[in-house]
A = this chain, B = another copy of it.
Amino acid sequence: MNAMSNILIENLEIKDLRFPTSRQKDGSDAMHTDPDYSCAYVIIHTNSAFKGYGLTFTLGKGTEIVVTAIRALEYLVIGKSVNSIFTNFSTFWRSLTSESQLRWLGPEKGVIHLATAAIINGLWDLWARLENKPVWELLSNLTPEQLVSTIDFRYITDSITREEAIEILKKEARFKKQRINEIVKKGYPAYTTQVGWLGYSDDKMKQLCEKYLEKGFTAFKLKVGQNLENDIERCRMVRNCIGYENKLMLDANQVWDINVAIDWMKKLTEFKPLWIEEPTAPDDILGHATIARALEEFHIGVATGEMCANRIIFKQLMQANAIKYCQIDSARVGGINELLPIYLMAKKFGVKVCPHAGGIGLCEMVQHLQYWDYICLTGSMEDKWIEYVDQQHEHFKYPVVIVKGRYMPRRVSFN
Give the interface of A toward B (CB within 8 A): 31-36, 57-62, 64-66, 68-69, 72, 98-114, 154-158, 254, 257-259, 280-287, 290, 307, 309-310, 312-313, 315-316, 319-320
Q: A65-B111, A69-B111, A107-B254 are in contact. Are A101 and B283 (CB under 8 A)?
A: no
Asked whether, in the complex, the Cβ of B110 is within 8 Å of the Cβ of A281, the reply is no
Asked whether, in the complex, the Cβ of A287 is within 8 Å of the Cβ of B155, the reply is yes
Asked whether, in the complex, the Cβ of B155 is within 8 Å of the Cβ of A32, the reply is no
Q: A313 to B310, alpha carbons, bound, how many Å? A: 14
Q: A72-B64, A102-B62, A105-B62 are in contact. Are A113 and B112 (CB under 8 A)?
A: no
Asked whether, in the complex, the Cβ of A105 is within 8 Å of the Cβ of B287, the reply is no
Asked whether, in the complex, the Cβ of A105 is within 8 Å of the Cβ of B109, the reply is no
Number of copies of this chain in the oligomer?
Answer: 2
Q: A257-B154, A257-B155 are in contact. Are A109 and B110 (CB under 8 A)?
A: yes
Please, which residue of chain B has its CB at the minimum distance from the CB of A257?
A: B157
Asked whether, in the complex, the Cβ of A104 is within 8 Å of the Cβ of B258, the reply is no
Q: A64 to B62, alpha carbons, bound, how many Å? A: 14
Task: Determine the chain B residues whose CB is within 8 A of the CB of A257 once the complex forms.
Answer: 154-158
Asked whether, in the complex, the Cβ of B101 is within 8 Å of the Cβ of A105, the reply is no
Task: Determine the chain B residues whose CB is within 8 A of the CB of A101 once the complex forms.
Answer: 32, 34-36, 58-62
A26 to chain B, nearest CB (A): 14
A139 to chain B, nearest CB (A): 26
Task: Determine the chain B residues whose CB is within 8 A of the CB of A316 once the complex forms.
Answer: 283-287
Name the contact of A65 in the complex, choosing from B103, B105, B113, B254 (C-beta under 8 A).
B105
17 A-B pairs besides A283-B316, A284-B316 with CB distance below 8 A are A36-B101, A58-B104, A58-B105, A60-B101, A61-B102, A62-B105, A64-B68, A65-B68, A66-B105, A105-B110, A105-B111, A106-B110, A158-B258, A283-B309, A284-B315, A285-B316, A287-B312
Asked whether, in the complex, the Cβ of B66 is within 8 Å of the Cβ of A62, the reply is no
A215 to chain B, nearest CB (A): 29
Q: A60 to B99, alpha carbons, bound, how many Å? A: 11
Task: Determine the chain B residues whose CB is within 8 A of the CB of A312 once the complex forms.
Answer: 281, 283-284, 287
Q: A307 to B98, alpha carbons, bound, how many Å? A: 14
Task: Determine the chain B residues whose CB is within 8 A of the CB of A108 once the complex forms.
Answer: 281, 283
Q: A345 to B280, alpha carbons, bound, how many Å? A: 19
Task: Determine the chain B residues whose CB is within 8 A of the CB of A109 once the complex forms.
Answer: 109-110, 283, 309
Task: Determine the chain B residues whose CB is within 8 A of the CB of A33 once the complex forms.
Answer: 100
Q: A32 to B286, alpha carbons, bound, how many Å? A: 30
Q: A57 to B69, alpha carbons, bound, how many Å? A: 17
Asked whether, in the complex, the Cβ of B110 is within 8 Å of the Cβ of A284, the reply is no
A166 to chain B, nearest CB (A): 18
Q: A259 to B104, alpha carbons, bound, how many Å? A: 24
10 shortest interchain CB distances as A-B pairs: A110-B110, A111-B111, A61-B101, A59-B101, A158-B258, A59-B104, A60-B101, A155-B281, A283-B312, A68-B68
Task: Determine the chain B residues whose CB is within 8 A of the CB of A114 once the complex forms.
Answer: 105
Please, which residue of chain B has its CB at the minimum distance from the CB of A99?
A: B61
Q: A58-B104, A155-B280, A307-B107 are in contact. Are A285 and B287 (CB under 8 A)?
A: no
Q: A36 to B98, alpha carbons, bound, how many Å? A: 16
Q: A105-B114, A309-B283 are in contact. Are A69 and B65 (CB under 8 A)?
A: yes
Task: Determine the chain B residues whose CB is within 8 A of the CB of A258 once the complex forms.
Answer: 157-158
Q: Could you say which of A62, A98, A313 has the most chain B C-beta atoms within 10 Å of its C-beta?
A: A62
Q: Could you say which of A111, A114, A254, A280 has the most chain B C-beta atoms within 10 Å of its C-beta?
A: A111
